[in-house]
Structures are given as C-alpha cells and as structure tokens.
C-alpha cells in the first residue's frame, strides 16, 4: 500500500505545478486583458500578401 | 505609392458582408449626397477630396490614408469598415512638454536609459482595425520595438529605443493618425490599479489548489474507509491536510480578518466578522483534531469556504477598464501650458502656473485658470463645463473663467487666479471632495450581520451550557460546531453573486456602475434630481424649422450672413442650420438685447427677432417659448415672410420616463440655464415648484444637501458643473453620449441612449435586494437544519462536507438565475 504514498506525492506535485503555472500566468498579466487577444489572433501576419499590388 | 490590394480572406467573418459594403460604397459614388469618407466614414460635404477613386471628407483624412498607404498598412481599411478617426475633431495639442525630463519620468513605466516603456490612454480606440494599426506602429517608427493594445481599457503600451525616437515623437505620430493620446495629471498619478485584482487571483488560486487536494485526501474519511486502510495513512493524510490549509488560512483568508478587525475598531460588526469567526473556529478545531488524533478535521470545509468567498469577490469586482469614476478636474486639464516669459514661449507644467503669468491658448486648448483676455479673439466653448455647446464670444479685457475651450485662433491671456482657486476648480475645495467618502447608508449585509453574530454567539453559548454536564469535551465540540454551521457563508455569497450579476445586466443596458454597493444604494432612492442641459436635452442638437412662405436661396444666404454676426444662441442655431450657403458682408449690424438683430446685406434690410421687433405689430409678443420651442420672426425689407421655430431637442421618451419615475420617487430639476423653457418643463413635471433655474455649481450642491434630509437622493447630470451635486448625492449618475469620453466623478455612467431605462434600473435595483433577502432565507433554512444536527452533536465531517458546498452552490445558482429571470421580465436583458 505504500505505493499510495508515492502516488499522493506525485499528485500533490502535479497539482502544485499547475498552481505555479497559474500564479505565473497572473503575474505575467495574462488575466489583465481578456478581450484583446481574442481579436488579435484573427490578424494574419502575412506581409507578403500586402506588398503584392 | 502603390495601390493597396487586399486579397479576399474567407477566414474572416466580415468577408461575407464585404460585397454588401462594396455595394453601399458604389451606390454612394453615384449619389453625390451620401458620399462616405473612405477613412472615417463621415459623409463628405464641401471641401471633400478624392484620391485613387477613394473619397475623403477632408484633407486630414486623406493625409492619414497616405501615411498608411506609403507604409503598406492599408489592411487597416479591410478589417473594419471606415475605421478612421477624422482629424477634424482632434485638438492641436502640442507635445513639447514630453521632452521635459520631470514630466517624462512621471509618465514612463520603466526606463533603463536605452529602452523605455510607457502606456497611453487613447479614447479613440474603437475597433479591431485600431488594434491592428496600433500594434503595427513599429512599421511607422523604427524606434518602437513593441506595442500592445488593451482594448477594454483603451490603452496602448509600447517599448521604444530612446536613441531612435522619443515619447514626444510617438505622441505626435499617434496624433497624426487620429489616435490622440490623452495625457493628463491623473494619468501620471494612477498606476497599478489592477494590482488588487491580481492579488485576488493569487489568493483564489492558492485556495482552489488546497481545496481540491484536501477534498481528495479526505475521501477515505467521507467513505468511511479508514477502518480498512493502514492506520499510518490516516495520520499522513491529516498532516498533509494541515500543511495544505496553512497558506489558505494565513494568506487567502487574510482579507477577511483585516476587514473584520477594521470594522471592530470602528465599532461595527460587519459581515466579515462572522465569516472570520467561522473560518477561525473551523481552522482551530481542525488543527486540534488532527494533532490530537481525535478526528479528521474540517479543513475541506474551511478551504472550500475561503475559495467560494474569494470567487464571489472576483465575480463582483467586474470593472469597466476604460471608464474612470474618480475624475477630478485634473483629468481634464492639460499637463502643461505655454507661457510667455521675457518674450519667449516656453512650456511649463500646469502645477507651476502662477497668478500674473501670460499664457497662450491655441485652438481647442483648455483654459486652465481664470484669466483676462489680452490678445486675439476669444471664442470660448463651455460645452465641457455646462453641456452647452454654443461658443461664447469674448473681447479684449474680458474675464474668461477656467474650463472653457478656445475655438479659433490662438489667444493670449493673463492668469488671474491659481488653477485650484479658479471659478470652476474651487468647487473641488468643497468639503464633499476633501472628506473621506463615508456613506450615509449602512449596507444591508452589515446591518444584518450585527444581530446575526450576536444571535449565533448566544446560541452557541447556550447549547454549550446545555451539554456542559456531560463533559467539557462535548460542550466545546458543540460550541464550535454551532459556530461552524452558522457561518453566514451563503449570505456572504448571495451578495456578491447577485450584485455582480446585476452589474453585468446593467452593463448590457449601457449603464455602468462603479461598484456593487451602488446597486444597493440605488434601491433606496427616494428623490431623483435632474440637470437640464445635456441630461434632459440632447447636447448640441436642436431642430430649426421655418414656417411661412418658401424662402429663396438668395434670401437664406442673406439671413445666414446676418445671423453670423450675432452670438445669441438662437442666432447661432439659425446660422448652423443654414448649411451650404456663402455669407456676405453685413452693414449696419445691430443687436438689441431682448429684441433681436438687424443688418443690411446686399442692400436688403433683414430683421430677426421677436414678433414685435420684426413686424412692428404692437400686439405681438416678445421672444418666448411656445411649448418647448422658441420663435424667431423674420423680416426682409419690411415684409414678414414667416418665423423660425427652434426646438431644444429633449431626449426621446422623456415625458414617459418622467411620468413613470413620478409614481415612485420625488423629482427635482436643477438647471444652470435661464428659465426660457420653464413653461414646457413645468408641464412635464408634476411638482413644478421643484424646478430651479440659473443654478451655479455650488447652488446645486447645496440644494442636494437640503433635500437629503428627506431621503436618499439620486443625481443625474452630465457636465463638470454637476460635479459637486453628483458627489454630494447618495448616488450620482452621469449621462454621456460616449461612455469613454469625459464624465465627472460619479457612481455610475449611463449612455444617453439608455436614458429611458432609468425607471427600470431603479426598479431592478429594488428587486435585486429582494433576491438577496430570499437567498438569505434559503441559506437560513440550511443553517437551521444544520444547527439541529450540530446541537445534537452529530456534525460529522461528511455531513459538513456535503452541507457546506450544497448550501453555497444552491444560493449562488438561485441568485444568478433569479436576477437573470427578473431582468428578462423587466426587459433589461
């Protein structure tokens, strides 16, 4: 049954990893603006097309 | 200069409406009346220009197009239709002050001498084209390395190289594209507004993490499996739970302890006190149980409670990023002024402007302090202060009060008063603005929590006393169990979720409130005070109709020429109404106060004014209002062909709105204007004695103070002259045509289109308080049921673990569903 101890340890570590990822995301400002990225992803960066006349 | 070719892009939703747009534009080319500017979408009038088969309403628009065209940025026009901002409405603010080291330091977010970072608030950001262009700024200025737009906050953040460009150059570039950055004193003062929300996210993250893991580790307990597993696990899980709960108790929940402590210090038992009690007892008892090995504790309930409470806080903290509810005059005044010192023009920060300084105010610049006109023609637009958009003419030597905007050539002024002592700004020296905002209204939750806490403590003590004979251990158990169960978490959740949802519903109806407590205050309003200009009337709009025989173009041209010479509001309205006519020189122009104007144009004598003045008929009336319109009679060479009827345009549905409001609340009107339209307004309002005209900003403030003895007052205004009244009233709402534009400090901003919804908004606020009371009753039933269990001494961890989330979630679901349902019924959805 001691395998449970290992599993518990891993599960807490994985969850902790997600917690750290979340805190990092907040810190880096990913929750500051939840609207603009949804528009930004629709822009293409194909500059070649534009320079065509 | 190549012609931009934009390949059709089927991935974008607007591709499908493109043919329709093309059709519209083609049609416009045929019909000369409706040519639309390719850049800004305005209708092209006289002075429009064309280039490469594209129409522009003015040179400014064409120049912006050319800049974009040269730099291959024409995609700007393909993302949204006619996305540009016409430079017509732009001011000619100079950006020299941005070279000043001190000012720059205030504005920069970060600088290492080489790379600098700053952000600007740009109210003109309005569509996806804006985002695209502003994020491609580096193509226009090689010094900009990176730019990012925050659309909801209408903010651009950019990094640039000091060696290649400067803050001033970037500002000028943005300005030339029509995106005039709004740089003012407030912008420099407020920074890190979102840090509170960030902290909340951290806390909820930690609490959620602990809650989930503790629930997982408590499963053996829930299912009664501990008998089957090795005894070591039981201990291990207990200790793990304890470790996981520590950051939740000490970090995530800390806000509640601080708030409860602050409340106690002010001798108030607020809602956070019973919450603190609940959290603390849960934690203390769990720690004891785990360490003493007497049980598994209630760490899952404790962390869950904190998690739900914080989630509610986040839900409630919906903010409107681009709006600012705390503006003082500082937000509207420029950062710097141009002064003349020893014959030379220099820019100095506004704060160091002194009495006696000689300043230059250019077209569209704001007059920062009361001053005397020294040179040039003053044509001052006080729209910003009073909502009245007709400019006032000022001659040399006249005093110009602060807050006006010069329209026309540059003028030279001598400063009479310091900025903070000027007519307009001294309103902010009033007590209302200096003292801390202490609401007169005690919030519902706080008034309830006092009795609640006392009742719970007494109940807990009573049941402990009852169990005392059976042993101290049991008594303590029961005492803590009662406190745990009675923790008003459902109430603490009902309030943020109800108000948070109501804020969202209001937002969908173009009514934006500062915070949730405004909704509660709105529900207790007993009188509503209106401002007139700009609030009941549509700012800058009035209808001019000529009644009489048809006038020829030549006659209209003569009338326009005469009207041009007068500054009387009615003459200005006639002048503006007659578009598309040239004006000629007028001889022997005369303006007789209270009667009218006269002049000779091209040999024809034109009279405009009262019936008596124009027709000479002694039985005729003076200029006066008929209903809601003013009549101006016309006479050409002694003949009276008819009259102009000028209607101040009141908002649509005004009468209906007022009738609906009058059934529920007392109505008042405070107008800074004269009583020209008193007759119409007196018919509109049921209590005509509550209409006041000619009110100064201070008068308005005092009037509100006076009627506050009779109940809670809602002030609805718009201009800076209402700022005092908005602040003094229990709830101040400012009406605005464009919500991201100027509005004085207030509790809520209402888009003018939603004006008729004011009765519904008041009604809905009342209903939302009823929703909270109902939610509270529901949670009360849970509490009573749980209390019986607790007093019986049967509160096992599994019962607590089920009861706590079930009661919380059902209350949350009820409050959200109920508010949505009521909003639908009130047609507010």
pLDDT mean values, one per 10 residues, chain B (829 residues): 40 44 46 67 70 74 78 76 64 67 78 84 80 84 86 85 86 82 64 71 94 87 69 82 93 90 84 86 90 84 89 80 65 74 76 82 78 82 63 77 76 82 68 56 70 84 87 83 76 85 89 85 89 74 77 84 75 77 80 78 84 70 52 83 78 84 86 70 76 80 86 84 82 78 76 87 90 85 80 70 78 90 82
Q: Do A15 and B213 touch (CB under 8 A)?
A: yes
Q: Do A8 and B217 touch (CB under 8 A)?
A: yes
Q: Do A26 and B236 touch (CB under 8 A)?
A: no
Q: Which residue has the tokens 């606020």?
A: B765
- A46 vs B: CB within 8 A: no
Measured torsion, CA atoms of residues B364, B365, B369, B371, in degrees rounded to the nearest 10: -60
Whether the Cβ atoms of residue B67 and residue B51 lie closer than 8 Å to each other = no
pLDDT at A50: 45
Please name which of B777, B750, B713, B734 lies closest in space to residue B441, comparing C-alpha atoms.
B713
- A26 vs B: CB within 8 A: yes
State how beta strands B639-650 and B666-670 pair: unpaired
Across the A:B interface, residue pairs with CB atoms under 8 Å apart total 75
Q: How far is B202 from chain A (nearest CA, A)?
A: 6
Q: Do B213 and A35 touch (CB under 8 A)?
A: no
Q: How far apart are CA B453 and CA B270, in angstroms?
A: 9
Cβ contacts of A46 on chain B, cutoff 8 Å: none
Q: Do B209 and A15 touch (CB under 8 A)?
A: yes
Q: How far is A35 from chain B (nearest CA, A)?
A: 7
Q: Do B149 and A31 touch (CB under 8 A)?
A: no
Q: How far is CA B457 from CA B142, B273, B338, B732, B803, in A?
A: 68, 12, 66, 39, 21
Q: How far apart are CA B623 and CA B151, in angstroms?
A: 50
Residue that wins the pLDDT comparison between B110 and A26: A26
Q: Search chain A and give the residue with CA nearest B149.
A: A36
Nearest to B150 among A19, A36, A49 (CB): A36
Q: Search chain B and give the residue with CA nearest A23.
A: B202
pLDDT at A24: 94
Q: Search chain A and give the residue with CA nearest B14.
A: A42
The radius of gyration of chain B's CA atoms, rounded to the nearest angstrom, is 33
Whether the Cβ atoms of residue B796 and residue B556 lie closer than 8 Å to each other = no
Q: How far apart are CA B117 and CA B161, in angstroms?
A: 9
pLDDT at B675: 66
Pick the residue of A2, A11, A27, A39 with the most B CBs within 10 A to test the interface with B by mutation: A39
Whether the Cβ atoms of residue B348 and residue B415 lie closer than 8 Å to each other = no
Window B:391-420, CB contacts with A under 8 Å: none
Six-digit token string for B490: 């459902």
- B135 vs A: CB within 8 A: yes
From first CA to last CA, the distance across chain A in angstroms is 72
As to burial, measured by CB atoms within 10 angstroms (0-12 exposed, 13-18 middle, 19+ buried), residue B508 is exposed
- B730 vs A: CB within 8 A: no
Whether the Cβ atoms of residue B707 and residue B530 lie closer than 8 Å to each other = no
The values of phi and psi at residue B146, to 5°, are: -165, 135
Cβ contacts of B230 on chain A, cutoff 8 Å: 1
Q: Do A53 and B149 touch (CB under 8 A)?
A: no
Helix (H, G, I), strand (E, B) or coil at B414: strand
- B201 vs A: CB within 8 A: yes
Q: Do B213 and A12 touch (CB under 8 A)?
A: yes
What string of DSSP letters covers B30-93?
HSGGG-B-TTT-PBP-TT-EEETTEEESSHHHHHHHHHHHHTT-TTHHHHSSS----GGG----
Nearest to B201 among A5, A26, A42 (CB): A26
Nearest to B205 among A26, A44, A47 (CB): A26
Q: How far is A39 from chain B (nearest CA, A)?
A: 7
Cβ contacts of A44 on chain B, cutoff 8 Å: 9
Helix (H, G, I), strand (E, B) or coil at B509: coil
pLDDT at B817: 93
Which residues, at least 6 apart from B553, have a Cβ–Cβ distance to it below 8 Å? B581
Cβ contacts of B79 on chain A, cutoff 8 Å: 43
pLDDT at B749: 86
Q: Do B198 and A22 touch (CB under 8 A)?
A: no
Measured torsion, CA atoms of residues B526, B532, B535, B536, in degrees rounded to the nearest 10: 90
Q: How far is A44 from chain B (nearest CA, A)?
A: 10
Nearest to A33 among B4, B150, B213 (CB): B150
Q: Go through chain A and tell me how many residues it has.
A: 53
- A1 vs B: CB within 8 A: yes
Window B:43-82, CB contacts with A under 8 Å: 72, 74-75, 79
Q: What angle do CA B817, B821, B823 make, to 5 degrees?
A: 120
Nearest to A4 among B2, B79, B233 (CB): B233
Please name which of A36, A39, A26 lies closest in space to residue B322, comparing C-alpha atoms.
A36
Whether the Cβ atoms of residue B418 and residue B371 lie closer than 8 Å to each other = no
- Going across the sheet that includes B108-111, the strands are B108-111, B115-121, B155-161, B144-150
Q: How far is A31 from chain B (nearest CA, A)?
A: 8
Q: How far is CA B451 from CA B43, B70, B268, B446, B524, in A?
A: 64, 72, 11, 9, 21
pLDDT at B320: 67
pTM of full prediction above 0.95: no
pLDDT at B559: 86
Cβ contacts of B205 on chain A, cutoff 8 Å: 19, 22-23, 26
pLDDT at B250: 94
Helix (H, G, I), strand (E, B) or coil at B535: coil
Please name which of B411, B333, B417 lies closest in space to residue B369, comparing C-alpha atoms.
B417
């Amino acid at each position: 049954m001691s395998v449970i101890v290992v599993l518990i340890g891993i599960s807490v570590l994985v969850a902790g990893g997600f917690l750290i990822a979340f805190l990092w995301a907040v810190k880096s400002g990913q929750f500051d603006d939840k609207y603009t990225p949804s528009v930004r992803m629709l822009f293409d960066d194909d500059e070649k097309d534009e320079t065509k006349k | 200069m190549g012609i931009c070719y934009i390949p059709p892009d089927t991935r974008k939703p607007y591709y499908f409406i493109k043919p329709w747009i093309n059709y519209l534009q083609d049609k416009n080319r045929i019909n000369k009346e409706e040519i639309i500017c390719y850049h800004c979408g305005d209708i092209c009038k006289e002075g429009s220009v064309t280039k490469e088969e594209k129409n522009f309403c003015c040179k400014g628009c064409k120049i912006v197009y050319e800049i974009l065209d040269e730099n291959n940025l024409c995609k700007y026009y393909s993302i949204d239709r006619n996305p540009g901002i016409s430079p017509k409405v732009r001011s000619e603010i100079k950006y020299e002050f941005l070279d000043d080291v001190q000012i720059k330091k205030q504005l920069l977010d970060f600088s290492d001498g080489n790379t600098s970072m700053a952000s600007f608030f740009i109210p003109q950001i309005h569509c996806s084209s804006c985002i695209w262009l502003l994020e491609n700024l580096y193509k226009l200025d090689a010094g900009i390395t990176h730019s990012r737009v925050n659309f909801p906050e209408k903010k651009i953040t950019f990094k640039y190289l000091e060696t290649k460009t400067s803050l001033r150059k970037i500002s000028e570039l943005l300005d030339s594209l029509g995106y005039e950055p709004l740089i003012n004193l407030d912008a420099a003062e407020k920074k890190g507004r979102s840090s509170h929300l960030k902290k909340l996210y951290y806390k909820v993250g930690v609490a959620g993490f602990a809650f989930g893991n503790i629930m997982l580790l408590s499963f053996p307990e829930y299912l009664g499996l501990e008998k089957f597993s090795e005894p070591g696990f039981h201990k291990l899980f207990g200790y793990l739970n304890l470790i996981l709960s520590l950051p939740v108790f000490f970090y995530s929940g800390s806000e509640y302890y601080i708030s409860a402590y602050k409340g106690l210090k002010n001798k108030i038992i607020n809602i956070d006190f019973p919450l603190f009690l609940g959290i603390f007892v849960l934690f203390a008892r769990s720690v004891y149980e785990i360490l003493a090995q007497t049980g598994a504790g209630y760490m899952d309930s404790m962390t869950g409670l904190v998690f739900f409470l914080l989630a509610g806080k986040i839900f409630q903290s919906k903010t409107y990023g681009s709006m600012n509810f705390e503006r003082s005059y500082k937000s509207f005044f420029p950062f710097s002024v141009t002064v003349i010192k020893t014959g030379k023009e220099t820019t100095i920060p506004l704060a160091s402007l002194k009495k006696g300084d000689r300043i230059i105010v250019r077209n569209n610049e704001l007059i920062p302090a009361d001053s005397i006109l020294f040179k040039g023609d003053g044509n001052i637009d006080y729209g910003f202060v009073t909502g009245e958009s007709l400019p006032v003419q000022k001659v040399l030597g006249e005093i110009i009060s602060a807050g006006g905007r010069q329209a026309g050539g540059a003028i030279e002024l001598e400063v009479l008063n310091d900025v903070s002592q000027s007519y307009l700004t001294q309103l902010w020296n009033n007590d209302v603005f200096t003292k801390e905002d202490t609401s007169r209204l005690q919030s519902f939750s706080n008034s309830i929590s006092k009795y609640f806490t006392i009742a719970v403590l007494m109940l807990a003590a009573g049941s402990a006393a009852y169990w005392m004979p059976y042993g101290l251990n049991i008594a303590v158990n029961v005492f803590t169990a009662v406190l745990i169960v009675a923790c008003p978490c459902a109430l603490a959740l009902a309030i943020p979720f109800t108000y948070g949802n109501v804020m969202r519903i209001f937002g969908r109806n173009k009514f934006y409130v500062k915070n949730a407590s405004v909704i509660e205050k709105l529900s207790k309003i007993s009188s509503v005070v209106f401002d007139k200009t700009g609030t009941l009337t549509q700012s800058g709009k009035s209808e001019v109709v000529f009644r009489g025989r048809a006038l020829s173009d030549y006659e209209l041209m003569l009338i326009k020429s005469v009207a041009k010479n007068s500054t009387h509001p009615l003459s200005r309205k006639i002048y503006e109404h007659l578009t598309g006519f040239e004006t000629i020189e007028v001889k022997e122009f005369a303006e007789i106060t209270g009667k009218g104007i006269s002049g000779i144009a091209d040999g024809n004598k034109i009279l405009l004014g009262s019936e008596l003045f124009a027709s000479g008929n002694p039985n005729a009336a003076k200029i006066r209002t008929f209903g809601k319109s003013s009549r101006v009679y016309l006479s050409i060479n002694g003949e009276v062909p008819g009259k102009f009827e000028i209607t101040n345009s009141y908002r649509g549905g005004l009468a209906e709105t007022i009738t609906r409001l009058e059934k529920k609340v007392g109505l008042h009107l405070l107008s800074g204007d004269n009583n020209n339209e008193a007759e119409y307004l007196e018919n509109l309002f049921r209590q005509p004695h509550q209409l006041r005209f000619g009110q100064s900003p201070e008068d308005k403030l005092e009037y509100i103070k006076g009627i506050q003895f009779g109940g809670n007052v809602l002030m609805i205004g718009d201009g800076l002259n209402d700022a005092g009244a908005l602040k003094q009233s229990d709830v101040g709402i400012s009406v605005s045509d464009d919500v991201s534009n100027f509005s004085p400090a207030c509790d809520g901003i209402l888009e003018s289109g939603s004006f008729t919804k004011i009765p519904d908004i008041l009604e809905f606020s009342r209903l939302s308080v009823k929703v909270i009371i109902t939610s509270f009753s529901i949670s009360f039933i849970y509490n009573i049921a749980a209390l019986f269990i607790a007093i019986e001494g049967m509160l096992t961890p599994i019962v607590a673990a089920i009861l706590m989330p079930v009661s919380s979630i059902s209350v949350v679901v009820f409050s959200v569903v109920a508010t949505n349902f009521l909003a639908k019924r009130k047609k507010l959805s």
